[in-house]
Amino acid sequence: MRIIYLLLWSLLSTGLASAQSRTHKVVFIIADGIPADVLENAATPNIKKIIAGGTYLRAHVGGDQGTYTETPTISAPGYNDLLTGTWGYKHNVWDNAIKAPNYHYQNIFRLLKEQQPAKKIAIFSTWTDNRTKLVGEGLPAAGNVQFDYKFDGYELDTVAFPHDKQSLYTHAIDEKVVAEAARCLRTNAPDLSWIYLEHTDDMGHRHGDSEQLRTAVAYLDAQVGQVWAALQYRTQHAPEDWLLVLTTDHGRDAATGRGHGGQSARERTTWLVLSTKEVNAYARRGQPSIVDVLPTIARYLQLPLPVATQRELDGVPLIGPVSLAEPRVQPAGDSLRISWTALGASRTEKVNVWAAATNNFKTGGPDQYTLLGTVPLGRQALSISRQLYPGAFYKIVLEGEHNTVSRWLLPAGSPTPGSGSN
């Protein structure tokens, strides 16, 4: 009896140990400018296979329409929404010129490298600015991040990839990028990788909703299949578990499918594929957005985010336990009504409600937060006196046990950012 007991115990603990020692790694792919309806109606056997074992979510870009978080449905702002987990009013990238990104809102590569320098990061990209400007590789202001593996710049090599009038060269570059990614993932298995693919957007601009765009999505599907095969290989041959996140940076206009940048439903509506079924109540609630990807990646990598960063994130993790979402702050007569949607399962969970009257984070400084109250999560609201807190500007932070969300109170009549002035 005792021997059987010991045997069982040793089997059990071996199983536990091997499960615990599997390293978590992430690959995220941005495939440019594919509206949700286009992806959903395309023949995509590889992507559908990943969805069958994972999760497909409709999502959005563009911030909250008509508010201070509204962000153009343009490529570089979209990538930076994902990289920083914040909208344009924080990361300050408003178009593809990427004039003055605010690097105080740290990207996911920097957050990983600053806390866990031994982790390896990789970029495979059909647009060099993604590395040099958005992540800001090697820039002191951006934290001197260095990629361990980088494959990009092919669009500048007009000998190997001559620029043809039909923009088919971007397909050739995407193919090169994916081949390098698949090879590097198989052999080097970096901890966090970004694959960026451009051809779908080029075909959208050139031909709109068309056979050419559908063909480009079919190319993408085959490329995703190559990446997925590399991840399967690693999962089977190394003690590693992999999360693949596949998404797009914006939709396209409804009339022709050629343009994007505005706030129409089709431009704002995007999608997310996650290679896991284990999504949380927030994800299942519908309407996640591109800024949810950073906290999702951090959680999968078991990367704790600094408190100051958590207080600035505009997203909510899509996996793991979650406390609350949808923060709202409304002046109501002599009081300020702060409310949220409770998602946590625990009846005893509490929320700390904080306020800061400054925004020093924007320039690299600390903000002093005052605790306004600690209330049961399920109450979903707190009202405070405007006499006690008369300021016109507050950053209100709602800190649950499992995640933190925030909302700004702005002076009445404040212009929404993003009109190009900053």
Residues that bind Zn ion (CB under 5 A): 32-33, 75, 201, 249
CA dihedral 244, 249, 250, 256 (to 10 degrees): -90
Dihedral pair phi/psi, residue 70, rounded to 5°: -60, 135
Is 249 or 292 the residue whose CB approaches Zn ion more closely? 249
Euclidean distance between CA atoms 79 and 82, whole angstroms: 5
Q: Collapse the DSSP code of 259 into the 3-class scheme (helix H, G, I; strand E, B; otherwise coil) and give the result.
A: coil
In the bound state with Zn ion, the residue whose beta carbon lies nearer, of 70 and 201, is 201
**Residue indicated by tokens 């649950």:** 400
Shortest Å distance, C-beta 248 to Zn ion: 8
Shorter beta-carbon distance to Zn ion: residue 137 or 267? 267
- What minimum distance in Å lies between the beta carbon of 333 and Zn ion? 44
Q: Which residue is nearest to Zn ion (CB)?
A: 75
What is the nearest approach in angstroms of Zn ion to the Cβ of residue 81? 12
- In the complex, the smallest distance separating the C-beta of residue 88 from Zn ion, rounded to whole angstroms, is 15
**Residue 33 C-beta: closest distance to Zn ion, Å:** 4
**CA–CA distance, 237 with 231 (Å, rounded to integer):** 10
Q: What is the DSSP string of 111-149?
A: HHHHH-TTS-EEEEES-THIIIIII-TT-GGGT----SE
State the Cα–Cα distance between residues 174 and 207, nearest whole angstrom.
19
Sign, Cα dihedral of 102, 104, 108, 112: positive
What is the four-CA torsion angle of 390, 395, 396, 400, rounded to 10 degrees? -150
Measured from the CB atom, the residue of 250 and 395 that comes closer to Zn ion is 250
Report, in Å, the least distance between residue 216 CB and Zn ion: 13
Alpha helices in 211-280 (DSSP H): 211-237, 265-268
Please, which residue, 134 or 184, has the CB nearer to Zn ion?
134
Determine the Cα–Cα distance for residues 83 and 105; give it in Å rounded to an integer.
9
The minimum distance between CB 74 and Zn ion, in angstroms, equals 7
Q: Which residue, 33 or 418, is less far from Zn ion as judged by CB?
A: 33
Residue with smaller CB distance to Zn ion, 126 or 406: 126
Least gap, CB of 296 to Zn ion (angstroms): 21
Residue closer to Zn ion, measured from CB, 34 or 121: 34
User: The tokens of 209 are what?
Assistant: 């909703």
Contacts of 388 (CB under 8 A, 6+ apart): none
Distance between CA atoms of residues 214 and 198, nearest Å: 14
